Structure 1
Amino acid sequence: MELRTVNVTRYVTPLREGGSLPAIAEADDDFLYVLKFRGAGQGVKALIAELIGGELARAMGLKVPELVFANLDEAFGRTEPDEEIQDLLKASVGLNLALHYLSGAITFDPAVTTINDTLASQIVWLDCLLTNVDRTPRNTNMLMWHSELWLIDHGAALYFHHSWDNWKEQAVRPFVQVKDHVLLMSATELDAVDAKFKAIINEKLIRDIAALIPDEWLDEDAATAAGRREVYIQFLLLRLASSENFINEAKNARETRF
């Protein structure tokens, strides 16, 4: 398992609806990407969550735009007239993360598009596993592209890593924020999805995905980087082993709301 690495050749336009000010950029493979910057508010932790969440979703058979590492040269910050963007570019020199740009995609709107119960249950289950707080009616972080549903933006997931102190306790907690999930009403097949995905997501897969995280995103010290990578692995393994906690929470929230 590996991700391609591209070099950013042109900054096209900022996506100001994103809190971390992502941008559309062109790379040396002539494709457009949505570029997530290491110098943005949540820093490399958002990139790590994006990488783990996106690749887990892909392994589960869900549609996610291709993720690539994107090298940003220091020259990019010199000619940008917008000071805020200039500062962001200067702070993001080096390795960033980008998603293939789905040209012509539109934001998923539950009032317009109906998602079947199986797919809804799969997405709710994934977001409970990842503790992804950012898939709400206000901000669905899903796109419709060529009549198919695509998942984007997992940067708000795995919020335990903003405070490493009690990650084991957080790993087995229910996910109470599931009550706000945009697809909760249709998530009627969580038990079946749990059985299916537990057969797919094993320790080897989790380790292979965690191995993709660049050491420099974890810590400059190699030993610390290895230790933090292992925490991500163990967090996901613990969460997987105690999935009944977040499944029951989701079921209860669904009964309460609907």
Structure 2
Amino acid sequence: MTDDIQLQLRTVNVTRYVTPLREGGSLPAIAEADDGFLYALKFRGAGQGVKALIAELIGGELARLVGLKIPELVFANLDAGFGRTEPDEEIQDLLKKSVGLNLALHYLSGATTYDPTVNKIDPLLASKIVWLDCLLTNVDRTPRNTNMLMWRNELWLIDHGASLYFHHSWQNWQEQSLRPFVQVKDHVLLPQAAELEQVDVAFRLLLTPERIRAVVQLIPEEWLRSEDPADASPEERRQVYFEFLTNRISHSGIFVKEAQHARQSLI
């Protein structure tokens, strides 16, 4: 991989709403697209709107860059006429609010939810996932809701929509980029994450500013627009994501030490 990197996601058109995934708070759904594949579809019209999609996109593609397994992410276009025959009023309303570009993950048919009492993860893999979640400030990888799947005897990451919570207010983002991730104490893989220092060295080399830039360039401009003309422009917001992540990586020792401290209190 060179430093002059360009990333690209496929765009598909949603052709059929199959079934809701009721365990998700934002009513994601299994849907079929015009490429014939099934996807776990995340809607822009759901509770946290496009910010959850941005977090999903950034988290997923950063995970892919460091070699973790994540289902293919695609942009999923929803036509204005889609879902008119949906009998569930709540779902129909969600579909109407989600016309345009959404985000979807390739559906892993037959996958099972990761169970920490059954599935044992080696320390290196656990450390990679904990490190990434500390970078992303991902609060949603707990024993109650692991957001990981076992598929073909391998661990796959899903659902990064609760990451990057600084962007829900945009206030003091520079300060937030330097904060330790105290919620790591609840991370389902923290007890096994014994190789955080080794991972820190490797991931700081992998996640160069050029590669971070390539990931944030994937965010569709329409997801970055605000209805308030006084707000930051799409490019200014894109730059904030870039600076937040690069600043956090360059000071990764802050969140690594917090994770190690939290782990020591568990073992």
Which TM-score band applies after superposition, normalised by the shorter structure?
A: over 0.9
What is the rounded CA distance, in whole Å, between the counterparts of 1:256 and 1:223 in structure 2? Answer: 42
Q: Please list, as runs of the form range in 1=range in 2, the aligned pairs for 1:107-126 lying within 5 A after superposition.
A: 107-126=113-132
What is residue 27 of structure 2 aligned with on the other side?
Answer: 21
What is residue 177 of structure 1 aligned with on the other side?
Answer: 183
TM-score by length of 1: 0.99
What is residue 108 of structure 2 aligned with on the other side?
Answer: 102
What is residue 91 of structure 1 aligned with on the other side?
Answer: 97
What is residue 240 of structure 1 aligned with on the other side?
Answer: 249
Alignment of 1:159 with 2:168, yes or no, is no
Q: Which amino acid aligns with 2:17?
A: Y
Confirm or deny: 8 A CA contact 1:77 1:87 kept in the other structure: no
Shift of 1:74: 1.3
What is residue 194 of structure 1 aligned with on the other side?
Answer: 200
What is the rounded CA distance, in whole Å, between the counterparts of 1:111 and 1:165 in structure 2? Answer: 39
What is the rounded CA distance, in whole Å, between the counterparts of 2:84 and 2:11 in structure 1? Answer: 23
What is the rounded CA distance, in whole Å, between the counterparts of 2:84 and 2:63 in structure 1? Answer: 37
What is residue 206 of structure 1 aligned with on the other side?
Answer: 212
Shift of 1:96: 0.1
Tell me, which stretches of 5 or more residues in structure 2 are unaligned?
A: 1-6
Q: How many residues align?
A: 258
- Out of 56, 67, 72, the residue aligned to residue 50 of structure 1 is 56
What is residue 4 of structure 2 aligned with on the other side?
Answer: none
What is the rounded CA distance, in whole Å, between the counterparts of 1:165 and 1:107 in structure 2? Answer: 35
Shift of 1:64: 0.3
Q: Which amino acid aligns with 1:117?
A: P
Q: Deviations over 1:37-56 (max 9, x none)?
A: 00000000000000000000
Confirm or deny: 8 A CA contact 1:36 1:98 kept in the other structure: yes
Secondary structure (helix, strand or coil) at the match of 1:118 reads helix
What is residue 215 of structure 1 aligned with on the other side?
Answer: 221
TM-score by length of 2: 0.95
What is the rounded CA distance, in whole Å, between the counterparts of 1:18 and 1:82 in structure 2? Answer: 17
What is residue 144 of structure 2 aligned with on the other side?
Answer: 138
Secondary structure (helix, strand or coil) at the match of 2:160 reads coil
Secondary structure (helix, strand or coil) at the match of 2:81 reads helix
- Out of 237, 259, 262, the residue aligned to residue 250 of structure 1 is 259
What is the rounded CA distance, in whole Å, between the counterparts of 1:34 and 1:40 in structure 2? Answer: 14
What is residue 45 of structure 2 aligned with on the other side?
Answer: 39
What is the rounded CA distance, in whole Å, between the counterparts of 2:159 and 2:102 in structure 1? Answer: 14
Shift of 1:77: 3.1
Q: Which has the higher helix share?
A: 1
Bigger drift between 131-140 and 73-82 goes to 73-82
Q: Which amino acid aligns with 1:122?
A: K
Shift of 1:223: 6.9
Alignment of 1:225 with 2:219, yes or no, is no
Give the percent of matched residue pairs that are identical in Structure 1 and Structure 2.
72
What is the rounded CA distance, in whole Å, between the counterparts of 1:33 and 1:60 in structure 2? Answer: 23
Q: Which amino acid aligns with 2:87?
A: P
Q: Deviations over 1:145-193 (max 9, x none)?
A: 0000000000000000001010000000000000000000000000000
What is residue 10 of structure 1 aligned with on the other side?
Answer: 16
- In angstroms, what is the RMSD of aligned CA positions? 1.1
Shift of 1:256: 1.1
Shift of 1:29: 0.2
